[in-house]
Amino acid sequence: MNIKRALISVSDKTGVVEFAKELHTRGVEIISTGGTAKLLADAGIPVKQVSEITGFPEILGGRVKTLHPFIFGAILANFDEQSHIADLEEHSIIPIDMVVVNLYPFEEVQKQTRDEDTLIENIDIGGVALLRAAAKNHRNVVVVCDPNDYQKIIKLIDSCGDVPLHDRRMFALKAFYYTMKYDSTIHKVLSELFASEKYEHMTFEKFSTPQTSYEILDDVNEKFVKLSKYTKQATAITLGAIVVASEPDLVIGFNDSFPVSMVNLKASGGRICDLTGSTVVLRSLTNDMVRKLRESTFITIAFEEIEDEEYAKDTLKEKELIRFSYTVDITEVDKIPVAQMVGNMMLKKLVKPWNIFQLLLSFMPKNTLIAEQEDGFFRFETCLADIMENLEKILTISEKTGTKILNIYTNAEIDSLFTKICGERGINIFTF
């Protein structure tokens, strides 16, 4: 059999004992680290600690275990290169034929906490390096990152004494994808955690098509790149705000509705809706609208020189940068009739206001308030914690602007105090 040594170091230990036993019974030497080594040894499987090979103990509380030439040289050696073989012989490095690794559970940890120290400690370094090294050298090393592949590998070994190149390539691609998604999650979570730092510089990212680029603009003002810099064909995807304009002219409605409070980004995408006609109407961004965008807390993704706009939008969704969105062409000022998505539902025709609000509220965070003013415009407030805080914000704006609130629509559970405050001001309450 061609597979003689396997390095096994896993965070998710599902099925690893059985897999290691199968390898051991087929004559494979098992190398391991830390908790994995102890688990296998306790199960009666002969295990050689990495520190026995490197002659160096684990240090920094386990942060450094496998990062050593005796390990990576054993994984990265290309046996088609005589110089590589000579290096192995000179330094007494024995090749490793299989790397079985999965990573610290950053994805699961970030769902439970936003504590920076905890998140940082769950960022895997050595595991990612091992997977990439083995995947790079997949002709010589079998890389395994998915416990679901354990039995398949045993069957392949039993059928032909090795893992064929076709399957090695598949496992390598899986490992590269796994580490890519892992790094993407870390970037996404830390970007949210370090929000103030995230946009201190212009952010450009490339998709797999070099013609496509996008720029994330937050708090669009003089401090950051302006939308007006785009002189070529460009598309904007707006996020993070909902403006419902009852004004027949959408541009006037948009402008006059600002400032509005931002709706939670993860709860709904941005949309500018004219709900006065039989269809929803979108207008392209005008200079006036761009000025308003710069003055407000608004997130925009602006595309330039897009070859395939649909591909770009799909890619953004895969990257979880957008939930629901629409696009407008910055370079045109036409009125574009569309059946616009509100949440996940299609608004085909004008419905009564409270039904519109029920639709909107169904896709917003709990404790969202929509206040209908006597001038026909609406304000949104959302806070996951305190419905009374939202009410206070709306009433404060109403007093400052001298604009009376007629109705409040909400998906929150309201109490007698909320009802009393609204009743004293003649405000009707609609709950959904």
Closest by CA to 218, choosing from 270, 255, 257, is: 270
Q: Which residue has better confidence, 44 or 87?
A: 44
User: Each residue of 14-23: pLDDT tens digit?
Assistant: 999 999 999 9
Q: How far is CA 409 from the centre of its chain?
A: 31
Report the alpha-carbon distance of residue 341 to residue 370 in Å, rounded. Answer: 19
Strand partners, 5: 29
The number of C-alpha atoms within 13 Å of 251 and in the hemisphere containing its C-beta is 13
Residues in Cβ contact with 412 at an 8 Å cutoff, skipping those fewer than 6 apart: 366, 367, 368, 369, 387, 390, 431
Q: Give the model's confidence band at 7: pLDDT under 50 very low, under 70 low, under 90 confident, else very high.
A: very high
Strand partners, 8: 32, 100
Residues in Cβ contact with 389 at an 8 Å cutoff, skipping those fewer than 6 apart: 383
Report the alpha-carbon distance of residue 13 to residue 4 in Å, rounded. Answer: 22
Q: How many residues does the chain have?
A: 432
Answer yes or no: is pLDDT of 172 > 80.
yes
User: Each residue of 329-363: pLDDT tens digit?
Assistant: 333 323 322 222 222 222 222 233 434 555 556 54
- Domains of the chain, first to last: 5-193 (3.40.50.1380), 199-350 (no CATH), 351-432 (no CATH)
Report the alpha-carbon distance of residue 406 to residue 372 in Å, rounded. Answer: 6
What average pLDDT does range 292-311 have in this prediction? 41
What type of residue is 285?
L
The whole-number pLDDT of residue 114 equals 78
Report the alpha-carbon distance of residue 33 to residue 369 in Å, rounded. Answer: 54
The whole-number pLDDT of residue 430 equals 81
The whole-number pLDDT of residue 387 equals 82
User: Each residue of 257-297: pLDDT tens digit?
Assistant: 332 222 222 222 333 333 233 333 333 344 454 444 434 33
Q: Which two tokens stand for residue 161?
A: 């004494």
Average pLDDT, the chain: 66
Q: Which two tokens stand for residue 169?
A: 């390539």
What average pLDDT does range 21-32 have in this prediction? 92
What type of residue is 2?
N
User: For residue 301, what are the CA distances in angstroms to 124, 304, 309?
Assistant: 31, 10, 13
The whole-number pLDDT of residue 384 equals 54
Report the alpha-carbon distance of residue 120 to residue 409 in Å, rounded. Answer: 42
The whole-number pLDDT of residue 364 equals 59
Q: Which two tokens stand for residue 13?
A: 């230990």
Cβ–Cβ under 8 Å, residues 136 and 76: yes
Answer yes or no: is pLDDT of 215 > 50.
no
The whole-number pLDDT of residue 376 equals 60
pTM (two decimals): 0.48
Residues in Cβ contact with 66 at an 8 Å cutoff, skipping those fewer than 6 apart: 7, 9, 33, 50, 72, 126, 129, 130
Q: Which residue has better confidence, 366 or 298?
A: 366
How buried is residue 127: exposed, middle or buried, by Cβ count under 10 Å (0-12/13-18/19+)? buried
The whole-number pLDDT of residue 383 equals 58
Report the alpha-carbon distance of residue 402 to residue 408 in Å, rounded. Answer: 17
Closest by CA to 12, choosing from 146, 109, 152, is: 146
Closest by CA to 135, choosing from 104, 86, 101, 89, is: 101
Concatenating the DSSP letter of every residue in 334-371 gives -EEEE--EETTEE--S---HHHHHHHHHTTS-TT-EEE
> Hey, is 402 helix, strand or coil?
coil
